[in-house]
Amino acid sequence: MAERISRASAEPVEARDGEGIAISHPSVPPPAQSSPRARMRDDPSNGAPERDLASALHEVSNALTVVLGWIEKAREASSAEVPVALDIAAARARHARTIVRRAIGADVPPEESGVVSALVNDAVKGLLPEANRLGVKLVSWVDPKSADVTLESGSSVLQILTNLLLNALAMSPPGAPVRVDARLSGEGEVVLGVSDEGPGVAPDRRATLFDGGM
DSSP one-letter code for 98: H
Domain membership of residue 82 as a residue range: 33-40+48-110
Residue 130 lies in a domain: no
Q: Which pLDDT does position 96 carry in this prediction?
A: 87
By three-state DSSP, how is residue 107 classified?
coil
User: Which helix (H) or strand (E) covers residue 47, if one does?
Assistant: none
CB 23 within 8 A of CB 208: no
Question: Counting every residue, how long is the chain?
Answer: 214
Residue 62 lies in a domain: yes
pLDDT digits (tens, 9 = 90+) for 80-100: 888 888 888 888 888 888 888
Q: Which pLDDT does position 179 carry in this prediction?
A: 95
The parts of the chain modelled with pLDDT lower than 70 are 1-51, 209-214
84 with 158, same domain: the answer is no
How many independent structural domains does the chain possess?
2
What residues form DSSP beta bridges with 3?
Answer: 195
103 with 152, same domain: the answer is no
What residues form DSSP beta bridges with 177?
Answer: 137
93 with 168, same domain: the answer is no
Put residue 17 in one of left, alpha, beta given phi > 0 → left and psi -120 to 50 → alpha: left
140 with 160, same domain: the answer is yes
Q: Say which CATH number the domain at 165 has.
A: 3.30.565.10
203 with 160, same domain: the answer is yes
Instruction: Tell me the HSE value of 200 on the side-chain side, using a 13 A CA sphere.
Output: 18
pLDDT digits (tens, 9 = 90+) for 157-172: 998 999 999 999 999 9
The count of other CB atoms within 10 Å of the CB of residue 197 is 17
Cβ contacts of residue 122 below 8 Å, gap of 6+? 114, 158
121 with 94, same domain: the answer is no
